[in-house]
Amino acid sequence: MYDLHTHSILSDGEMLPIELIRRMAVLGYTTVAITDHVDPSNILSVIESLDQVRISADLFGVRLLCGVEITHVPPSQIADLAQKAKTAGADIVVVHGETPVEPVAAGTNHAACGCRYVNVLAHPGLISSEDALLAAKNGIALEITSRSGHNRANGHVVRVARETACQIVVDSDAHAPGDLLDERAKFVVAKGAGLTDAECKQVISLNIDHFLIS
């Protein structure tokens, strides 16, 4: 299993990075991205700190993807920050999309979907078909989330992703131990968003290496 969107005490999460990894290992995860919230003030320090945990994660049998979630920054800064993260060694770049429950700046989805350094658009809310097409062109996945509030638009995201042949990922956006998903819970999130059983299995077993390279 994978989770491409989690948080530690490096931003607003409750767990040390290695505690998060250990709990994920017990649940059966083999690939976990820690993607703490960043803006220009902390993007480099977060990546540097997470890099120190790679060996510990490997000892627990988990491949750690050191990442960031670019959060609440002006849309015009997203591309530069995403490139900066990748240059600094980030394995994955997530952008905090236009969720219906936070005042994310209009144009954030569009800026993220047009940036080749972005990998996942998290909880994109009522994303337009035009932006989803742009995401598909750039190999950017749209996220289905279990996070309360952010998950209100999951059904819309599935519909638009189907129409545009855009990749979907299912993530927890975990901040606390109780947010983590076991395999059954992850399937339920996907199924509840409107995916068929076959689609659920395909999305949950996504080849992460192939996705990140494509």
Q: What pLDDT sits at residue 25?
A: 98
Overall number of domains in the chain: 1
Task: For residue 115, give the CATH number of its domain.
Answer: 3.20.20.140
What letter represents residue 54's amino acid?
R
**For residue range 120-133, what is the model confidence (pLDDT) as tens digits?**
999 999 999 999 99
| Interacting residues of 55 by C-beta distance below 8 A, sequence separation 6+ | none
Q: What is the pTM of this model?
A: 0.97
For residue 19, what are the domain limits?
Answer: 2-213
70-116 pLDDT, tens digit per residue, is 999 999 999 999 999 999 999 999 999 999 999 999 999 999 999 99
Q: Which of 104, 106, 82, 103 is nearest to 94 (CA)?
A: 82
Q: Pick the closest to residue 130 from 105, 113, 155 (CA basis).
A: 113
In this predicted structure, the answer to whether residue 57 has a pLDDT above a threshold of 80 is yes
The pLDDT assigned to 21 comes to 98
Residues 174-200 have pLDDT tens digits of 999 999 999 999 999 999 999 999 999
Q: What is the DSSP string of 45-68?
A: HHHHHHHTTHHHHHHTT-EEEEEE
